[in-house]
Amino acid sequence: MQHPPAWLIAPALASFVAAPAFAVQYLDIGQAQKLFFPQADSFTAVPLLLTGEQKTFVEKAAGVRMRYARQPVWKVSENGTHLGWVAQDEVYGKHEFITYAVALDAAGAVRGVEILDYRETHGREVRNPNWRAQFNGKTHGAPLRLDNDIQNISGATLSCKHLSEGVRRILALHAAALK
Amino acid sequence: MSRAVRAPSAPGGHAIKRARPLLGTLVEIGAHGASAQAVDAAIDQAFAAVQAIHELMSYHDPASDVSRLNRAGAGCVTVHPHTWAVLALARDVAEASDGRFDISIAPELVRHGYLPRHAGFAQPAPEANWQHIELLPGDRVRLARTLHLDLGGIAKGYAVDCAIRALRDAGMDAGRVNAGGDLRLFGAAEEAIHVRHPHAATRLLPLCRLSDGAVATSATYYAGRLMDGRAVSPLIDAATRRPCAGGRSVSVLAGRCAVADALTKVVYADPEAALSALRHFGAHAVVLDADSDTPGHCRARASAPGGWHDLALTGPEAIAA
C-alpha cells in the first residue's frame, strides 16, 4: 500500500490564517532601469505633466482614463546617444495594486515590462485613503507581510487586464508627449 | 543545499525574484545562483521560455500554433515541438481520465464568455473531441474533424516546467516559478505552500511542504462569472460539456507542473473518477469544498490509493463576514 508522500503534510495540523494584505517587492526603479538598459550611462528624470489636451489625447488613444496628469519618466542615454525611455506607473484592480516599469526604445516600441511591487488587496480597502496612506513614504518597503512562507500561494490567478491597459496608456503617452 | 530561495542575503550566493505579466497573469520567477549577474541572466532566460510558450499556445494570438490549428479545419498542420509535446501530454491525461480532460472544449469556453470569438475559425464539427486530434511523426498534427482547441488548462503548467528547465540549464542551484497559482520549485529546502479558502480568498490554508516538485490549484474565487443569473466557472466538465459549479478548490501535487495543471481539471469535475488518473501520474490531490452544513466552513479531503480520506481542519476556519 502506497503512503501519502512525505511532502504532503496533511492540513489536519493547520488552520486558515487571515491575509489582510500581501505585498512583494521585486525591484526598485533603479534596478529596473539597469535591467532594461544595461549599457546606458544616464537615466535623466523628465517627469511629465500633461496638458489637458494631451490628457484627452492619451485617454482617447488608449481607451483608458488617466487618473493623474503627472507621470514619472526617465530619458535613457549612452554617451549622449538617446536609447529610449523608462516610465513608472501603477494600476489597481479589484484585488491587486501593482507598481511597474515600462521601457520604450528610441522609436517608442515596448522593450520590456517589469513589476516593481505587487500588493494584494481584498474588499474596498484600496479605495480607502487611510488604507492607502500606510504605504506613503515606503513605496518600495515591504508592508504588512505575514511571514515569508506566504509567498507560495497556489491558485492566485489574477487577470493582467489592468496592466495591459496601463502599458497601452504609456504608449499613447509617448505619442502625445515624448515624440 | 539548505538555503531558502528567498533569502535575500544568503551567504555564498545571490537570490533574486522578479515578475512580469505573461500568460494572462503575473508570472513570478525566483532563483539562487553564484552572482547577481548570473541570476538575472538566468531569470531573463526563464522569462523568455515562458514568452515562447505563450506565443505558441495562446488562443488569442492569431499567429500561435493553436490558432493555426483552429483555423485549419480538418487536415494536417506542422507545429512547434513544444506544441506537439503539450498535445501529447494532453492526450495522455485524456486517456487516463476517460476524456474528462479534453482540450477541444474551446467552443464551450467561447459560449460562456471565457474566450473571444474568432471570425476566421472553421465551424467545429458536432461531437468532435480530443480523440479526433491525431499526433503524427515529424511534429505533425492531423485533425480528423474540425475542432477548436484551447490549451489554457495545461500550457501554463508546461510554461512553468520550461522556465524551471531554463533556470537549471543556466546553472542555478535553486529556483521557483509561480504562474498565477501553477507553481514549481527545485533545489531549495522545503517550502510551505498555501491555498485559499474556496469562498474567501483572504483566508489561507497551509497545504503542504514542497521541495522539488509542482503544485497547481484550480478554484473559482477570482474567475467565476454570472451567466443568465447563474454562477458559472471557466472549468468545463468534459463529460457534460457544461461549466462546473463553483465553491471548490482543487490542488494537485506532481513532479511536473503541466501534469499538475491538467489534473486539477479532472479532479475538479469528478474527484471519485479522478483517482485512477492521479495514480497513473503518481500525483496527489487535496480538495476543499464549502461545507453545506456549516456556512463559512469547508471540508478538506486528500487522495490516497484506496480513495479520498477526510482531513480534519483544526482551529477557526470560519470566514469573517
Out of B76-90, B221-235, B247-261, B291-305, pick the least confident. B221-235
User: Quick check: B97 pLDDT over 90?
Assistant: yes
CB contact under 8 A, A154 and B316: no
CB contact under 8 A, B222 and A7: no
Cell of B22: 505573461
Higher-confidence residue of A98 and B206: namely A98
Residue A36 Cα, gap to closest chain B Cα (Å): 11
- The pLDDT of residue B118 is 77
Which distant-in-sequence residues (6+ apart) come within 8 Å of B92 by Cβ?
none
The answer to whether the beta carbons of residues B120 and B137 sit under 8 Å apart is no
- Chain A interface includes B204 (CB < 8 A): yes
Mean pLDDT highest for which of A135-139, B8-12, B101-105? B101-105
CB contact under 8 A, A159 and B211: no
Residue B203 Cα, gap to closest chain A Cα (Å): 5
* A174 secondary structure, DSSP code: I
**Mean pLDDT across A148-170:** 63
What is the average pLDDT value for chain B, to the nearest integer?
Answer: 83
The answer to whether the beta carbons of residues A96 and A121 sit under 8 Å apart is yes
**Mean pLDDT across B268-287:** 93
Cell of B158: 508546461
**Mean pLDDT across B275-282:** 95
Residue B147 Cα, gap to closest chain A Cα (Å): 27
Out of A23-32, B11-20, B30-39, B287-296, pick the least confident. B287-296
Q: How far apart, in Å, are the Cα atoms of A109 and each of A102, A104, A174?
A: 10, 5, 10
B234-244 burial, b at 16+ Cβ within 10 Å, e below that, comes to: bbbbbeeeebb
Angle at B3 between CA B2 and CA B7, to 5 degrees: 160
- What chain A residue is nearest to B183 in terms of C-alpha separation? A154
Kindly indicate the confidence band of residue B14, based on its pLDDT and cuts at 50, 70 and 90: very high
Each residue's pLDDT tens digit, B118-168 = 777 778 888 888 999 999 999 999 999 999 899 988 999 999 999 999 999
List own/partner pairs for A4-9 with CB under 8 A and 24 or more apart: A4/B284, A4/B302, A4/B304, A5/B253, A5/B284, A7/B190, A7/B208, A7/B209, A7/B210, A7/B211, A7/B213, A7/B253, A8/B208, A8/B253, A8/B284, A8/B286, A8/B302, A9/B208, A9/B209
Pick from B28, B211, B312: CB nearest A7 = B211
The answer to whether the beta carbons of residues B239 and B270 sit under 8 Å apart is yes
User: Quick check: A144 pLDDT over 70?
Assistant: no
Nearest to B162 by CA among B234, B214, B94, B92: B214
Cell of A171: 504608449
User: Quick check: A82 pLDDT over 70?
Assistant: yes
Share of chain B above pLDDT 70, in %: 84
- Measure the CA–CA gap between B80 and A105, rounded to whole angstroms: 30
Pick from A9, A15, A115: CB nearest B20 = A115
- The pLDDT of residue B288 is 87
Its pTM stands at 0.83
- The pLDDT of residue A143 is 31
Mutate which: A3, A31, A157, A167, vs B, most B CBs within 10 A: A157
Question: Which residues partner with A91 through β-bridges?
Answer: A98
